[in-house]
């Protein structure tokens, strides 16, 4: 499918209200996320690399909030065991319909199952890899702990959760600097000040960022034994959280 340019917030007041993953957003999503999230084009292939290390034969790999399936396909190709199954979940029918098309164009022995459902209702079982690539930030904060506990409970020993998020900072000056640099990144990618400010307003209350400390603590509280920050650019991070039930997590020697 050709990628359309994101012009959603170019005109003043034409898209009032909160940000939604509707048909208009789904149509331009590859362009939108590439120009909005610093490092997205690095993070996607690295999800494949991380999946290669943690995917175990005869297990499920979950991509929660899969959108058009960029992370889904990275996991599918990283899996390396034909007996793995990727389960990709999104509650936006506009996203899932387009995702179906992308998956159908891809050729690989690892099966992909798409589910159009709320990830808060998804059953997570026998999982060696779970990805939340810029999705948890859209889940209401008071539901995040129980979701992560449920994910941990559904994971096999030695499994990994990949969690990418936009974050906030405890220190006000750092918050201001990182936001400024993120907006500079968007400007460098062709977004106008009007587009940046209109999208920012639309995302308020919908995308709720938290600090790195809060994310780490919540993951540990949910039962994960180790949390590794493997990527950061400005206010965007990605973590790997390990599910080692036997608590033996020997860090591998190089
Ligand atoms: C920023 S996008 C994720 C990008 C995608 N993971 C990727 O790597 O390209 C967030 C996605 O999460 C989905 N989402 C948000 N809340 C959800 C929920 N409660 N259940 C299922 N999907 C959800 C949205 O519909 C949207 O497609
Ligand atoms: O924070 C912003 O300004 C963003 O545009 C970020 C973000 C995200 O992190 O998911 C928000 C919505 C779209 O899905 C694409 C990017």
Bridge pairing between strands 226-233 and 236-243: antiparallel
Q: Where are the beta strands (DSSP E) in 117-188?
A: 127-133, 155-168
Q: What CA–CA distance (Å, rounded) separates 65 from 88?
A: 7
Atom of ligand 2 nearest to the CA of 67: 14
Q: How confident is the model at residue 245 (pLDDT cuts 50, 70, 90)?
A: confident
Instruction: Please name which of 26, 34, 16 lies closest in space to residue 66, comparing C-alpha atoms.
Output: 26
Q: Whose CA is nearest to atom 4 of ligand 2?
A: 36
Q: What is the CATH number of the domain that holds 165?
A: 3.40.50.150
Q: Which ligand number lies closest to the CA of residue 178? A: 2
Whether residue 171 is contained in a domain is answered as yes
The answer to whether residue 250 scores a pLDDT higher than 80 is no
Whether residue 146 is contained in a domain is answered as yes
Kindly state the percentage of the chain with pLDDT values over 90: 92
Q: Write down the pLDDT at residue 140.
A: 98
Q: How confident is the model at residue 17 (pLDDT cuts 50, 70, 90)?
A: confident
The answer to whether residue 155 scores a pLDDT higher than 80 is yes
* DSSP three-state, residue 30: helix
Whether residue 1 is contained in a domain is answered as no
pLDDT in tens, 56-115: 999 999 999 999 999 999 999 999 999 999 999 999 999 999 999 999 999 999 999 999
The burial class, CB within 10 Å (0-12 / 13-18 / 19+), for 54 is buried
Whether residue 60 is contained in a domain is answered as yes
The predicted model gives 106-126 an average pLDDT of 97
Please check if 67 is assigned to a binding site: yes
The answer to whether residue 248 scores a pLDDT higher than 90 is no
The answer to whether residue 3 scores a pLDDT higher than 90 is no
Whether residue 54 is contained in a domain is answered as yes
pLDDT in tens, 199-213: 999 999 999 999 999
Whether residue 253 is contained in a domain is answered as no
Whether residue 29 is contained in a domain is answered as yes
Q: How confident is the model at residue 181 (pLDDT cuts 50, 70, 90)?
A: very high
Backbone φ and ψ of 75, nearest 5°: -70, -45
The answer to whether residue 218 scores a pLDDT higher than 80 is yes
Q: What CA–CA distance (Å, rounded) separates 134 from 233?
A: 14
Buried b (16+ CB within 10 A) or exposed e, 225-237: bebeeebebbbbb
Determine if ligand 2 sits within 6 Å of the CB of residue 198.
Answer: no
Report the mean per-residue pLDDT for the chain: 96
Q: Write down the pLDDT at residue 249.
A: 67
Give how many domains the chain has, as a whole number: 1
Q: Write down the pLDDT at residue 252.
A: 77
Q: How confident is the model at residue 34 (pLDDT cuts 50, 70, 90)?
A: very high
Is the ipTM value over 0.95, yes or no?
A: yes
- Residue pair 225/243 in contact (Cβ under 8 Å)? The answer is yes
- Residue pair 47/72 in contact (Cβ under 8 Å)? The answer is no
Residues 6+ apart with CB under 8 A from 81: 55, 56, 57, 58, 110
Whether residue 104 is contained in a domain is answered as yes
The predicted model gives 182-193 an average pLDDT of 98
Q: Which ligand number lies closest to the CA of residue 183? A: 2
Residue 83 lies in domain: 23-243
Please check if 108 is assigned to a binding site: no
Distance from the alpha carbon of residue 158 to the mean position of ligand 2, in angstroms: 31
């Amino acid at each position: 499918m050709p990628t359309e340019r994101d012009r959603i917030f170019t005109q003043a007041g034409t898209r009032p209200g909160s940000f939604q993953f509707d048909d208009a957003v789904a149509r331009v999503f590859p362009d939108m996320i590439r120009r909005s999230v610093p490092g997205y084009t690095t993070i996607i292939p690295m999800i494949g690399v991380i999946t290669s290390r943690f995917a175990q034969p005869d297990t499920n790999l979950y991509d929660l909030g899969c959108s058009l399936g960029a992370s889904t396909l990275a996991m599918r190709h990283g899996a390396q065991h034909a007996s793995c199954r990727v389960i990709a979940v999104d509650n936006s029918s506009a996203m899932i319909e387009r995702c179906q098309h992308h998956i159908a164009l891809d050729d690989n022995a690892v099966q992909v199952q798409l589910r159009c459902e709320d990830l808060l209702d998804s059953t997570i079982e026998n999982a060696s890899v779970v990805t939340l690539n810029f999705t948890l930030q859209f889940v209401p904060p008071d539901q995040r702990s129980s979701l992560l506990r449920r994910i941990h409970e559904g994971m096999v020993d030695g499994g990994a959760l990949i969690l990418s998020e936009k974050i906030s900072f405890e220190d006000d000056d750092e918050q201001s600097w990182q936001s400024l640099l993120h907006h500079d990144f968007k400007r460098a990618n062709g977004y106008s000040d009007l587009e940046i400010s209109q999208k920012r307003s639309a995302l308020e209350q919908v995308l709720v960022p938290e600090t790195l400390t809060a994310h780490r603590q919540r993951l540990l509280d949910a039962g994960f034994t180790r949390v590794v920050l493997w990527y950061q650019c400005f206010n965007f991070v990605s973590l790997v959280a390990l599910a080692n039930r036997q608590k033996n997590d020997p860090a591998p020697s190089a």
